[in-house]
Amino acid sequence: MKVAVVGATGLVGSKMLQVLTERNFPVTELIPVASEKSVGKEVTFKGKGYKVVSADTAIAMKPNVAIFSAGGSTSLEWAPKFAAAGITVIDNSSAWRMDPTKKLVVPEVNGDALTPEDKIIANPNCSTIQMVLVLKPLHEQYKIKRVVVSTYQSVTGTGVKAVNQLMNERQGIQGEMAYAYPIDLNVIPQIDVFLDNGYTKEEMKMTNETKKIMGDDQIQVTATTVRIPVMGGHSEAVNIEFDKEYELADIRSILAKTPGVIVVDNPSKAEYPMPKDAHDKDEVFVGRIRRDETQPKTVNMWIVADNLRKGAATNAVQIAEYLLAKNWL
């Protein structure tokens, strides 16, 4: 089982190597791929050093699967070349997510949409993944009409440059800026670029990707996405309107039985999910589950996950695990 990780030296790429190790994915040969300036550098995987190679070299080495986390332009250029060589690509960028010919997959939600013919598979946006994992079982039970979500997203979602900016500001050091404004002791209500409708690209990703993954264009989703000075873990305040009436106890029970979801919801003891508790975990945590008292059939909740793991690396590796279990790799 030869596995290529494209973007192996980046924040998410490094996390992918960690997740592959922890989940004991049966890698017989790792092929780390990065930009030309990183070729020849060494990455360590399971205690062994592997030299970083170029994308051309990686294709020639014929991996069974290539997990991409190297940005949209790299994916657009190279994913088809890997796929043409018979290599299955799992892509973490936004390049292929809304392509109608490509599957957008969270294995617990819509893994059954995959077929052996899918050679480029899209990994959804981090903030979408953690939300749909919670929405899916509730949609099956109560049929979701509308979702209003506000996100509180960590700087690791931007990358190393943003992590450095936060830590520099915290220490009073002048340095390179990932954002147009300071992030420490601040909140920036912009993630990605603004579109003509006044929403950001990140906000529209949540709207469009949710419909595609859930397989239902009737679900209305409106989002406000916000960057906060937290090192890792995205949080979301989610308001969900159903078609059918519900009981709070049933919602807690449904979510408690959902694979990959952990309910942490005990207000009397001030127990609820926080980013620090989700750190380095693969599960999605949900709490603050309460009835919206301003309108019927509507519930509020708080959803937290490690954006580099379930929001990126873990979900990609889970897709590979799904394909492997089907003998499609």
Q: Write out the two tokens for 278.
A: 């989700």
DSSP-assigned letters across all residues of 235-283: EEEEEEEESS---HHHHHHHHHTSTTEEE--BGGGTB---HHHHTT--S
Candidates 97, 102, 139, 234; catalytic one:
234
CA-wise closest residue to 154 among 236, 225, 237, 231: 231
Q: Where are the beta strands (DSSP E) in 14-105?
A: 29-33, 42-45, 48-51, 65-68, 88-91, 103-104
Beta bridge partners of 308: none
Calpha distance 200→224 (Å, rounded):
8
CA-wise closest residue to 131 among 114, 100, 109: 109
Indicate if 96 belongs to the active site.
no
Candidates 12, 33, 55, 126; catalytic one:
126
Calpha distance 234→232 (Å, rounded):
7
Q: Where are the beta strands (DSSP E) in the chain?
A: 2-6, 29-33, 42-45, 48-51, 65-68, 88-91, 103-104, 120-122, 144-153, 220-227, 234-242, 261-263, 284-291, 298-305
Indicate if 279 belongs to the active site.
no
Q: Write out the two tokens for 145.
A: 């009409």
Q: Write out the two tokens for 8.
A: 């192996």
- CA 182, 188, 193: angle at the middle one, nearest 5? 110
The whole-angstrom distance between residue 317's C-alpha and the CA centroid of its chain comes to 11
Active site members: 126, 234
